[in-house]
Amino acid sequence: MKTKRLLIVVTMLCLLQSTKTFAQTDTLCGYQTAYNWLVQQDSSYLNFEIQHVENIKRYRNWKALNAAVQLPPITGSGYATSAIGCPKAKFIVPVAVHIIHDPTDTSLGSGTNISDAQVENQIEELNKYFAGQSGGVNTGIQFCLTYKDINGNTQKRITRRGDNLTTNHLPSEIDDVMALDKLDQTRYLNIWVVKTILTDGGQDIGVRGYSTMPGRIDVDGIVVRYNSFGNYNNCSGCNLASPSRGNTLAHEVGHYLGIWHTFQDSCAGNDTSDCALKGDRCCDTPPMLQNSGCNYSSNTCHNESPDEDDPIENFMSYSSESCKTSFTQDQADIMHTTLYTHRSSLVQPSWLAQVSSCCNITATFEATALQRCSGDTSAVYFSSIASSGRSYQWFMYRNDTLIDSSGVSGNAVYAWHPSQNGMYTIALRVIDGSDTISEVRSNYVQRLDCGTPLASPYGNWYFGQYCELNFKQGGSVISGSCCTTLFWGIY
């Protein structure tokens, strides 16, 4: 499976199971069938991996040059990972869940028409896994089961539909099931829960779920089998297979946010010179072959230095659910890259403030402009998500020297004007009782001498959505509003 290097295709977590139980040793995958179907639909998907890998390189280079930028520190005892509570993280991703149940399961909680409690259990488990509470790193990413639409209307984001597509065939019905009850896929992570996932020939080989990568707006999201959606150990009365620990969704969200299987390209990426360029492009996941079961002493690749055991505890392996517990920092960096670039529309503060009823304790922020010309005296407005009872403090640095700060206030919006030419680092600290979370963006805003745009019909580049690049003698100037949140610090 890892001989294919194309992220934009649907990637599958396919572990053998019966209707009620999972086999613990054998692993199957329908990746190739799904891949062929997607490429047949749109060959431009082949360009995504090139873009994604380049973005990863630039993000890592930027992070190395700006060592002060880390995951937001989370302090205090109030840390929460509930589905509808107050998750604290660098990124909050809004989620909508669509139950596509057997038409005969008309009662809520019966059979494939799983209960709200089971859905909330799964999102809570997902948040625990991404917070590193079962092991590994805190990825700084949390998920919120949203309860509001764009107009502020309260509407529970668990939809239900009895439909024969609950028996989902791959690959021919990928787009059919993802068309049911979907919300804007540039704004929500849509998850469809189905009865079973079969091959186009009608065989049930135990596929638990599959996910798309960014690149096709109309076919985008995650499909999971109903009895793999939640943690059997702590979800009383839920319709789950006994081996399910809720990490099928963690695996698929990993793909959705741009990370590969740990066995990508088999044993490629075997030393420090190429581990970030080959395989899963993570130097902290030793290379391995496709695996199954839960063999902690497994070591299937011996060409790396040092020679390490397989990372069977990693969510992106094909290990049994009982032994998958963690993501790594390199994997977290790739997911951050995706949320800063291809999936940035999911996590923009102005959007989250409109649609999410979760507390959204996050210090992520956006600005109305990333550049100001020296003759422009208008302010740049920085905004985070306003939450009742929380305090905000903004800091402005130039050449690593603090030059201005807002003081502590209940205002999540701050207007500020750079007084000198140069690059400015902006930081935000959000205070919630004894808890504090912060975000630092190095060299985020620039004031410069914009000069006079070149007098040529070919002097400017227009990228759409009011974004353009104006050329002048000796440089260029970003103009417009769409460039204020994408690719910051990367391009």
Question: For residues 28 and 318, what is the distance between their CA atoms, to the nearest angstrom?
Answer: 9
Indicate if the pLDDT at residue 277 is higher than 60: yes
Q: Angle CA(186)–CA(190)–CA(194) in degrees, nearest 5?
A: 155
* pLDDT tens digits for range 465-490: 344 555 555 555 555 444 433 333 33
Domain with CATH 3.40.390.10 in the chain: 1-362
* pLDDT tens digits for range 218-257: 889 999 999 999 999 999 999 999 999 999 999 999 999 9
Domain with CATH 2.60.40.10 in the chain: 363-484
Q: Check: CATH 3.40.390.10 for 1-362?
A: yes
pTM for the whole structure = 0.83
Question: How much is the pLDDT for 13?
Answer: 42
Percent of the chain with pLDDT over 90: 37
Question: For residues 39 and 9, what is the distance between their CA atoms, to the nearest angstrom?
Answer: 8
Question: How much is the pLDDT for 418?
Answer: 93
Question: How much is the pLDDT for 82?
Answer: 56
**Cis preceding-peptide flag for 72 (omega within 30 of 0):** no
Nearest to 397 by CA among 370, 423, 358: 423
Cβ neighbors of 351 (< 8 A, separation 6 or more) are 187, 345
Question: How much is the pLDDT for 59?
Answer: 87
Question: How much is the pLDDT for 358?
Answer: 62
Query: pLDDT confidence of 268, banded at 50, 70, 90?
Result: confident
Question: How much is the pLDDT for 64?
Answer: 77
* pLDDT tens digits for range 352-397: 877 656 656 788 888 988 888 888 889 999 999 887 788 999 999 9
Q: Tell me, what DSSP letter sits at residue 65?
A: H
**Tokens linked to 387:** 């939450």
DSSP string, 128-159: HHHTTTTSS---SEEEEE--B-TT--B--SEE
Nearest to 314 by CA among 263, 258, 244, 256: 263
Higher pLDDT, 282 or 6: 282
Cα 30 to the center of its chain, rounded Å: 23
* pLDDT tens digits for range 175-216: 999 999 998 899 999 999 999 999 888 988 878 888 888 777
Question: In sequence order, what are the beta bridge partners of 154?
Answer: 148
Question: How much is the pLDDT for 22?
Answer: 39
Return the CATH fold of 363-484: Immunoglobulin-like (2.60.40)
Q: Tell me, what DSSP letter sits at residue 281?
A: S
